[in-house]
Amino acid sequence: MNKGLQLQDYIVFLIYFVIVIAYGFWVYRRKKSAETTSTDFFLAEGQLTWWAIGASLIASNISAEQFIGMSGNGFRLGLAISSYEWLAAVSLIIVAVFFMPVYLKNRIFTMPQFLKTRYNDTVALMMAVFWLFLYIFVNLTSILYLGTIAINNLTGGSNFHLIMICLAAFALLITLGGMKVIGYTDVIQVLVLIVGGLITTYIALTVVSEKFGMGKDALAGFNQLLKSAPGHFDMIFDKPGPGATQQQINHYSSLPGLAMLAAGMWIANLNYWGCNQYITQRALGADLKTARTGILFSAFLKLLMPVLVVLPGIAAYVLYQKGELQTAMLTNGEFREDNAYSAVLGFLPTGLLGLSMAALTAAIVASLAGKANSISTIYTLDIYKKYFNKESSEKKLVWTGRLVVIISLLIALAVNWNDTLGIGGKGGFEFIQKYTGYISPAIFPVFLLGFFWKGATSKGAIAGIIGGVLLAILFDKFLPGLAGNDTFLYTAYQNASGGFEIPFLIQMGWVFFFTTLLIVIVSLLDKTGRAKGNALIVDRKMFKVSPQHWVLITIILLLTAVLYARFW
């Protein structure tokens, strides 16, 4: 087992760094002859191919949250955590078919712009400010912190602040070139991410095979995982009954069986992939055919992701149960499931460890760059241009966007310097899910009804946003104490701390339901708002799907069905 990075690993990593920066500079210089416009910088309008869009979507989505957090969940929960990835593939189909036509037909460049077009300036400004705080203080900071922890562990654990600065600087270099540079460098990032991830999984499976006396055979290693940890290959957890263990309760609380498939998992995925500036921005500068193909390409890649991030976690679990990785799973003397991925990386030979670290860095930097660009886009186009400098030139907008990128990364560095938000104490995955989950079931109904119901009004949207967040807090913090632990709406389970809580994905389902109901009621009562109508163009012809896209959609759905049928 390799105990640390060697010179060859650093050389491999340095080569990766130089290639990405050089390629990004070349892409930037190709456009240098003409003045960079705001749509070039923020959207790369008409310049990203379908494969660049698909790769950028995945590169921006897969980060330390998945490699570290989801691999850790693979250690604890097993393959069931793959529901986030496999249902995301189906969610991307819905986004490609129904959401993108609305955005592109109405020339929507940002999510606040959609809310302004569909509702009014108040709704748009409210969400623009909220998204800025959420993206900077939750997403950007947690990605940077988790990424720094992962790389720091691989390099010996003594360069935390230097690594954090280097990651931010690397992301800054990519981001300042604009969305075109981000999109095309993401192709390299995804290639390295997938190759490095597959190598890591292969090595992990061969190590399992070796430890169980079957030689270096990855397939035998996988079969041993099925034999040694059959419960880790159940996709659906049964609802705990009388006499259930705390572990069974904890598993169900994290992934509440069929209930999550009925509500919460879809809300989380559709909101993330369809109503998230950070994600949709990749396709908003393309034509509909290119955007759809790129999104469906990313759906194929999502089906592959559990192989890269979940299987190594399950392998770490089996090895740990056999007496291996006892030290590698510790941080400051305490066991942490989030160490599963870095523990498995320790088995990689010299050189390949450097490649895997490059893959991890690729995921982190791509997410940081994408998030910083989205922060810049929302502030510059939806706040600065609209409220501070309406007559701003294209050059001014671009430089304002670049300045916002720098400021947002500096804020993330300052917040993370001493872990001011306590991300390390709570765990990055939990941190992100908790704070984004408070808003997802409140925001998604606003978008969904805005797309497909002409009667939704701005007053209904505002009531939904405010009421939805309050409902999320009520379900999470107070409802079991007020209404009891077992009602017709939910069952609250005792957690490790002794308190009772409703499974998070079930909370999201009910908050979504009641928020939708609230928006509908307020909108129906708002006769003045309904009389104004809305400026959004929506017609059935927009949703027509080409035969080529139908083939792709059918293949994705069949693959998803096969995976669930095999591991149900």
pLDDT category at 33 given cuts 50, 70, 90 is very low
pLDDT in tens, 197-222: 888 899 999 999 999 988 889 999 99
What whole-number distance in Å separates Cα of residue 529 and Cα of residue 524? 9
CB atoms within 10 A of CB 458: 22
Q: Is residue 381 a contact partner of residue 114, using CB atoms and an 8 Å limit? A: no
3-state secondary structure of 491: strand
pLDDT at 283: 72
Is the pLDDT score of 116 beyond 80? yes
What whole-number distance in Å separates Cα of residue 484 and Cα of residue 490? 10
pLDDT at 552: 95
pLDDT at 185: 63
Instruction: Point out the least confidently predicted range of 335-344, 418-427, 449-458.
Output: 418-427
The pLDDT > 90 percentage for the chain reads 27
- pTM for the model stands at 0.84
Residue range 62-85: mean pLDDT, rounded? 85
Q: Is residue 370 a contact partner of residue 67, using CB atoms and an 8 Å limit? A: no
pLDDT category at 179 given cuts 50, 70, 90 is low
What whole-number distance in Å separates Cα of residue 98 and Cα of residue 224? 42
Q: Which residues contact 461 (CB under 8 A, 6 or more apart)?
A: 115, 119, 123, 446, 450, 519
Closest of 412, 239, 207 to residue 318, by C-alpha: 207
Eight-class DSSP state of 81: G
Eight-class DSSP state of 37: P
Mean pLDDT of the chain: 83
Beta-strand (E) ranges in 123-186?
Answer: none
Highest mean pLDDT: which range of 65-69, 386-390, 528-532: 386-390
CB atoms within 10 A of CB 87: 20
pLDDT at 129: 84
pLDDT category at 306 given cuts 50, 70, 90 is very high
Is the pLDDT score of 80 beyond 80? yes
Dihedral sign for Cα atoms in the order 66, 72, 75, 81 = negative
CB atoms within 10 A of CB 46: 11
First to last CA, the chain: 35
pLDDT in tens, 442-455: 889 999 999 888 88
Residue range 476-485: mean pLDDT, rounded? 89
DSSP element (H, E) containing 74: helix 71-76
The identity of residue 524, as a single letter, is L
Q: Is residue 395 a contact partner of residue 159, using CB atoms and an 8 Å limit? A: no
Residue range 52-61: mean pLDDT, rounded? 77
pLDDT at 232: 94
pLDDT at 12: 83
DSSP 310-329: THHHHHHHHHHHTT-STTTT
pLDDT at 186: 64
pLDDT at 510: 94
pLDDT at 86: 93
Residue range 452-469: mean pLDDT, rounded? 92
Please state the φ and ψ torsions of residue 533, each to the nearest 5 degrees.
Answer: 70, -160
What whole-number distance in Å separates Cα of residue 274 and Cα of residue 91? 8
Eight-class DSSP state of 494: E
Say how many CA atoms lie within 13 Å of 170 toward its Cβ: 28
Is the pLDDT score of 556 beyond 80? yes
Q: Is residue 461 a contact partner of residue 123, using CB atoms and an 8 Å limit? A: yes
Cα angle: 15, vertex 19, 20; to 5 degrees: 120
What whole-number distance in Å separates Cα of residue 27 and Cα of residue 358? 21
Please tell me the total number of residues recorded for the chain in this structure: 568
pLDDT at 75: 92
pLDDT category at 369 given cuts 50, 70, 90 is confident
What whole-number distance in Å separates Cα of residue 17 and Cα of residue 10? 10
Q: Is residue 471 a contact partner of residue 509, using CB atoms and an 8 Å limit? A: no
DSSP 325-388: STTTTEETTEE-GGGHHHHHHTTSPTTHHHHHHHHHHHHHHHHHHHHHHHHHHHHIIIIIIIII
3-state secondary structure of 177: coil
Residue range 118-146: mean pLDDT, rounded? 85
Eight-class DSSP state of 501: E
Instruction: Point out the least confidently predicted range of 135-139, 218-222, 526-530.
Output: 526-530
pLDDT in tens, 338-364: 788 888 888 888 878 887 777 778 778
What whole-number distance in Å separates Cα of residue 412 and Cα of residue 494? 35
What whole-number distance in Å separates Cα of residue 339 and Cα of residue 73? 10
DSSP 229-248: -GGGG-SSPPPP-TT--HHH
Is the pLDDT score of 254 beyond 80? yes
pLDDT category at 41 given cuts 50, 70, 90 is low
- The full set of domains in the chain, from first to last, is 7-16+41-239+290-424 (1.20.1730.10)
